[in-house]
A = this chain, B = another copy of it.
């Protein structure tokens, strides 16, 4: 990617990948970087990558551990190498909104303020790559393509929050769950998932509820309802098979 494009290429690979299954996997390992920093590093050549890697620290977190907290100093930027992370905000009385689930290849922490405005927690055991804020900013200077890439990903993230606002504000419980399941299905074409109907659901019902603005009971009832409609099969609480992705997608939009 040249600097001139500034991330505004007409073709938008990561968008189409999100919408169409069986394209190159959304979260495939970076071809250049064994650490799977696909999102950020796939614009760098081998030499640049070597330099870039030096500023990072790799670490693990077990499921349920906090990676960073709301109001903490925003000193680091994180890139997920494996596992799943939830990003959430809380009201003082404990009501929670999960703003997104992140997977291998996604990054977070690139906030515009000096403190994080959200909490990031491991859903599963995760492997994470961390960059000091100051150093990655320097890297954006050293490798302009990297900054462009970050900008590009930020714009993609912003677009998807608009979709989520439409979901939260205007969709019914059934439409919300259909949207969630269809999106998870689109993202599920990655290493370790062989059956093309199978969708792993790493998060709890409580997480899904807080992501969709519903309660766990409603989530559970809607799962049962979709099962009775023959649209999904359930295998425990964390594995779903989509029997008719097209119908699910249509239902997700209210059709």
Contact = CB atoms under 8 A, between A and B. Distances in A.
A165 B164 CA distance: 8
B159 A112 contact: yes
A237 interface: no
Nearest to A87: B162
A111 B158 contact: yes
A113 B162 contact: no
Interface of A: 3-8, 10-12, 15, 89, 91-93, 95-97, 99, 110-114, 117-118, 133, 137-138, 140-141, 147, 150-152, 154-159, 161-166, 168-171, 210, 212-213, 253-255
Given A91-B253, A152-B112, A154-B154, A162 B12 contact: no
A113 B12 contact: yes
Nearest to A176: B169
B254 A159 contact: no
Contacts of A168: 165, 168-169, 213
Given A6-B141, A8-B137, A157-B158, A166 B112 contact: no
A15 B115 CA distance: 12
A196 to B, nearest CB: 26
30 contacts: A4-B138, A5-B137, A6-B137, A6-B141, A6-B147, A7-B112, A8-B112, A8-B133, A8-B137, A12-B114, A89-B166, A91-B171, A92-B255, A95-B254, A97-B166, A97-B169, A99-B166, A110-B155, A112-B155, A112-B159, A113-B159, A147-B151, A151-B151, A154-B154, A158-B161, A165-B165, A168-B168, A168-B169, A169-B210, A170-B210
Nearest to A134: B8
Given A12-B112, A147-B151, A168-B213, 8 more contacts: A6-B137, A91-B171, A95-B170, A95-B254, A150-B151, A154-B154, A161-B165, A168-B168
A170 B11 CA distance: 36
Contacts of A156: 112
A218 to B, nearest CB: 13
Contacts of A4: 137-138, 141
